[in-house]
Structure formats: C-alpha cells, structure tokens
Amino acid sequence: MRRMIRNIRVMDPHDGFDAVTDLAMADGRIVARGTLPVGFTAEEVLDGSGLIACPGFIETAFQGHTPGHGRDGDLASELRAAVAGGVTQVVLRPDTQPMADNPAVLQAQRTLADRLDLAKVHLSGALTTQLQGAALTEMAGLAEAGAIVFSQAKASVASAALLRLALSYAADLGLPVWLHGEEAELAAQGVMHEGHSSIRLGLPGRPAAAEQIGVQRDIAIAALSGCPIHFPHLSTVAAVAEVAAARQRGEPVSCGVSIHHLLLTEQDVGFFNPHAKTLPPLRPAAERDALRLAAATGAITAISSDHSPWGVDRAGMTFTQAPFGIAAVEWLLPLALRLVDEGVVDMMTVLGLLSVGPARAIGLPAPSLVAGAPADLCIFDPEAYCIVEPALQWSHGRNLPYGQWELRGQVRYTLVEGRVVYRR
C-alpha cells in the first residue's frame, strides 16, 4: 500500500534527522523523508500533527513462549503486545519449552511467526544443549534453520573450558554469542540482589560481584577465539566497565540493559513483590544511576524490555517460587521516555538505544527512515498520558511492577514493511 504521513516530526537516530515533515511509503519501503517525489499519490494519508515517527524498536530479549504450553502466552499474544509497544523486530530467546537447541524448534518458530505476520521475528539458537552449559548444540544446523545469534538466555556457562570451546565453534559460523553475565555458583541460590533488602527480607541474594566476575571471565575467554559477544542485560556498573574496557582494546564486546534496571531498584521488591523479581536482579539506586550514566554516554548501547510474560497461574506463588521476569514490552516506549523526563538522556538518544543500538548488537542493518529503508516504524504521541493497567495488557503476562504508573507517550501506529500492524 502507498501511504503518506503529513506534518509529522520525524526523529531518526540513525543520522540524527529531526524535523517536522512528510513521510511517504510504498511497497514496504520508505520512498521519501521530507520532500515527496513529484506525482506521489497515496492510498492512505495520515495526519501526523503532534506525533513523532521513529524507526521501530528492536526487542533483543523476547520470551515468546513458543514452543510452550500456552498458559504463559505464546508468540501470537506476545507479538501483539510487542507491536502495541512500537516494536517491529524481536529476537526470540531460546529458553522456550522445549528449548531452541535443535533446528526443528527454530523451524516451528519460523512457521508460526510467518503466519502471524506481526513484528519481524529473528531466531536465536541455544549455545549449549538445554542451556545447561555441558555440551555444544548443533550450531551449524541452527544457523541453517535461521538462527542469527547463539544465546544462553538467562543461564551462565559454568565451565570455562566448555565456554571456550562453544565460543570458538560459534566464531567459525560468524554469528555473535549472547551471554548471561553472572558467575554461576556465586549467584546460584539467590532470588534478588544481595544487599540491604535481601538482608531485611531474609531472602538469599545474588551479589553484584558475581556479574563482574562472570563478565570479566567471559570477555577473557572470548578474546581467545575472537568471537563477538554481547551481554543483553547487565545490571552493575562494574560489569559495564569491563565491557567498555574490552571495547577500548578493540574486542567485539557489547552490552545492553533492561529498562527495568534503569527505572527500578532492589527496594521495589518491597515486601516480596514477585513482579519485581527479575534476572539479573534489580540493584541498589547507586547502580541504577551509574547504569543511566553509562546509557547516556554510550557505554551501554541497547535498552530492552527483557520481555518475560508469566500467566495468571503463576499468581499465588511465593517470591522464591515465582519465576524471574517482567512482562512490559508494550510499555517499553513510555517507560523509556521516563529517562527523558528525568533528564538522563534526550529523546533522540533514547530512540537510538531502542533501535539502532540493538540492531548493532544483533548484526542487523541499522534501522532508519531514509529513502529506501524498510518501512518499519513507530508513530507515537509524546504528550498522551496513560495509566498502566496490567489486567488490560495484550500480553498474557500480568507480571509487571508498573501497575497504576502514569506514563507519557502512547504508541499510535506500528508499521512493519509498510503494513499497519498496530493502530489506536
């Protein structure tokens, strides 16, 4: 469909373009940003007054629960949530049921994703069988089935020797590896950050040092093979500094952070709120503030919502029993705009952290709104306020600690290859 959006503020972090202008799309691509080609006619013309158009967001840590039993949601429910959040591309996490450690699972994911035709779905293959860190997966087969990264999801590889072999095997295939930073034994039993709150609540903690040690080790091991690695969700500034130092040395290492670690602290666990239980755990305010600074200065290149939905059957579990994870992909933009309102970053930077940064980590072309680029975009009203109501989510997940938060920024349209996949 040929579509035109008039008088819209276009913000394109790819090249820093920021102006109120017109956008034209045809055949799934951007035709023009700014002056329209002579004689361009559109079948649909949208008035973009007061709205902002930016490249669609890329969610790097997306739990689609497909394959799975469906009680916690599935690709259909979760991709609807994603496009409602302005997300146009997701990378599926491999910790599904069964896990994405064999090509058949990836093929099934691909088939369903193609049928749904919502956001673009990228597949990841497990780095080790069952993510247990004990044996290599058939990575060449996974790559053939469409994996664009090998991932350990939320599981560290305890054996340094096995990690070394896995990374050097993955390096042959030219695909990046995504790792969970925490050292396995030091963090083993913990359900939250080891600190004031865990002491207060009598819960076993995960020390911040576990992440620094794990990241340090993984970087040193990666250097042996030159395999590019990415940590999609770091939670401590010490670990981020390890990544920054490696980059300074020219090593292909990068890291992202979840929006939750930029907004919340260990205190949000309050008295055992399982919705604030995530992995890595929420840290003290000093860490949050340092992570914010790292995001503002470029040491952190991607923000994700670390989407981990858990259905209503999980309610009624104690904090220890409750699974890790927060389901908030549809609030990713308004949550990220809090960082703008709190003076952490400007709007252009935050949009880049949600789109260009994740693309780089995956090895995808940087999303943009220049002529010729795929028409994957998010159009939002930056001044519309909304109140988070977990029961009304698109996602099957009800597990988010943002209930009743008043947030600014409402996604109005999400377009994937020129098709409107979400509209409100």
Q: Do the Cβ atoms of 310 and 397 come closer than 8 Å?
A: yes
Packed helices 237-248 and 208-225: angle between N→C axes, nearest 10 degrees: 20
Question: With binding defined as CB under 8 A, does residue 403 bind another protein?
Answer: yes
Residue in 3, 261, 275, 283 binding another protein, rule: CB under 8 A: 275
Contact status, residue 89 vs residue 119, Cβ threshold 8 Å? yes
**Whose Cβ is closer to another protein: residue 250's or residue 316's?**
316
Look at strands 52-55 and 377-387 and give their pairing: antiparallel
β-pair partners for 385: 408
Query: Which of these ranges, 66-74, 197-205, 236-244, 408-416, lies near another protein under the rule CB under 8 A?
Result: 197-205
Residue 34 or 270: the one with the smaller Cβ distance to another protein is: 270
Residue found under tokens 């205190």: 267
Longest pairwise C-alpha distance within the chain: 69
Residue 15 is among the residues annotated as catalytic for this protein: no
Which two three-digit tokens encode residue 115?
A: 């049928």
Of 150, 159, 90, 131, the C-alpha closest to 309 is 90
Shortest distance (Å) from residue 327 CB to another protein: 11
Minimal distance in Å, beta carbon 409 to another protein?
A: 21
Interface with another protein includes 321 (CB under 8 A)? yes
Residue 320 lies near another protein (rule: CB under 8 A): yes
Query: Does residue 387 bind another protein (CB under 8 A)?
Result: no
Active-site annotation holder among 306, 313, 341, 381: 306
> Is 292 a binder of another protein (CB under 8 A)?
no
Q: Between residue 98 and residue 127, which ones bind another protein under the rule CB under 8 A?
A: none
Contacting residue, 24, 42, 52, 203, with another protein by CB under 8 A: 203
Using CB under 8 A as the binding rule, whether residue 315 contacts another protein is answered as yes
- Residues numbered 404 to 423 that lie near another protein (CB under 8 A) are 404
> Residue 271 half-sphere exposure, CB side, CA atoms within 13 Å?
0
Does residue 47 sit in helix, strand or coil?
Answer: strand
Amino acid in position 237:
V
Per CB under 8 A, 196 contacts another protein = yes
CA dihedral 370, 375, 378, 382 (to 10 degrees): 40
Which residues of the chain form contacts with another protein (CB under 8 A)?
194-196, 199-203, 270-273, 275, 312, 314-321, 390-391, 398-399, 401, 403-404
- Catalytic residue annotation: 306
